[in-house]
Amino acid sequence: MAAPIPQGLSRLSRVLGWWSRQPVLVTQSSAIVPVRTKKRFTPPVYQPKFKTEKEFMEHARKAGLVIPPEKLDHPIHLACTAGIFDAYIPPEGDARISSLLKEGLIQRTERMKKTVASQMSIRRIKDYDANFKIKDFPEKAKDIFIEAHLCLNNSDHDRLHTLVTEHCFPDMTWDIKYKTVRWSFVESLEPSHVVQVRCSSMMNQGNVYGQVTVRMHTRQTLAIYDRFGRLMYGQEDVPRDVLEYVVFEKQLTNPYGSWRMHSKIVPPWAPPKQPILKTVMIPGPQLKPEEEYEEAQGEAQKPQLA
């Protein structure tokens, strides 16, 4: 038999049941919800322990720490110079003017002055390179000259870097990327000889460079073809006589340095170079929309009757 429910509890259950059956009314809330719930972090102000660098160095010295001095300068490597120290000026006519004339006496006087400066430079070069000899250098220079130009035939740039300086390399390889070079050495018309020696320093007195100018009178062949195989300059089967003044340079303070081709001196009285052969497109006949090229070409070749 079920126990009787008190009167107050029965009324409460009726009220709750009626309230649960009523529709829910949505009302707008006026409460403000903060978007940022975390406090922004503010780093504390750092107070250095040592106010000056001198105090820090003294504290490190007391602790037994040796702090090396900071070097802000960076080393640079200068393997070659940017030009020629005292460029040799070839006399007009290759010094073939008679010494009895006034011009010949002037050339002879200037040659004597340059010879004295060259002798002083030779002595300075021998202080760094004891094996340097003027008599043997022209033959060595000719071998470097020939091998450097042969590297252009097969585009051996790695070997070319060891034979020419960084100043001479762009001048030799400029604008031949898509071209074919055919160069060959035929013979020497006259023995090569040294005409000038110069020695100078760069940046400081410990960085010394030597430059030797060699006169070469040789017979060579040169032909340059474009990327389509068309001849642009020279001929392979026609040798030409070439008179050149080639400058060789070496960094004397570098124990592993070697003599390399640095530049060429072109005298102002030298004959002009052969111009490059340029090919152009010949325009064809103007075609109508209904014509073809072969038909128009056949009509152009028909003889005209009077």
Written as one string, the DSSP assignment of 181-233 is EEEEEEEEEEEEEEEEEEEEESSSTT-EEEEEEEEEEEEEEEEEE-TTS-EEE
Q: Of the candidates 163, 173, 193, 199, which has an alpha carbon nearest to the alpha carbon of residue 94? A: 193
3-state secondary structure of 254: coil
pLDDT at 25 > cutoff 50: yes
User: Best-predicted range by mean pLDDT among 21-25, 42-46, 136-140, 263-267?
Assistant: 136-140
Residue 70 lies in a domain: no
Convert the pLDDT of each residue in 227-262 to its tens digit: 888 898 889 999 999 999 999 999 999 888 999 999
- State which H helix or E strand residue 13 sits in: helix 7-20
184 lies in some domain: yes
Tell me, yes or no, whether 247 lies in a domain.
Answer: yes
Tell me which residue range forms the domain holding 208: 102-265
The pLDDT assigned to 189 comes to 94
- Report the alpha-carbon distance of residue 246 to residue 194 in Å, rounded: 10
Residue 248: partners with Cβ closer than 8 Å, 6 or more residues away: 141, 144, 211, 212, 213, 214, 259, 260, 261, 262
Is 145 inside a domain boundary? yes
Q: Is residue 212 part of a domain?
A: yes
Per-residue pLDDT tens over the stretch 193-226: 999 999 988 777 778 999 999 999 999 999 999 8
pTM of the model: 0.66
Identify the three-state secondary structure at position 246.
strand
Read out DSSP for 152-175?
TTTT-HHHHHHHB-TTTHHHHHTT
Higher pLDDT, 10 or 107: 107
Q: 141 and 212 in contact (C-beta within 8 Å)?
A: yes
What are the tokens at 158? 């790695």
Query: 153 with 179: CB under 8 angstroms?
Result: no
Strand order in the sheet with 231-251: 180-201, 208-225, 231-251, 260-265
pLDDT digit string (tens) for 125-158? Answer: 999 998 999 999 999 999 999 999 999 999 999 9
> The tokens of 125 are what?
């070069």
Name the band, by pLDDT with cuts 50, 70 and 90, for residue 306: very low
Domain total of the chain: 1
Is 42 within the bounds of a domain?
Answer: no
Nearest to 81 by CA among 293, 303, 248, 304: 248
Say how far apart CA 113 and CA 122 lie, in whole Å: 15
The residue with greater pLDDT, 86 or 108, is 86
SS3 76: coil
Tell me if 164 sits within 8 A of 150, measured CB to CB: no
Predicted confidence band of residue 105 (pLDDT cuts 50, 70, 90): confident
Most confident of 9-23, 108-122, 239-253, 289-303: 239-253
Residue 84 CB coordination number (10 Å): 18
pLDDT (0 to 100) of residue 305: 45
Residue 258, in any domain of the structure? yes
**CATH code of residue 128:** 3.10.450.240
Q: Is 137 inside any structural domain?
A: yes
Give, rounded to a whole angstrom, the gap between the first and last alpha carbons of the chain: 144
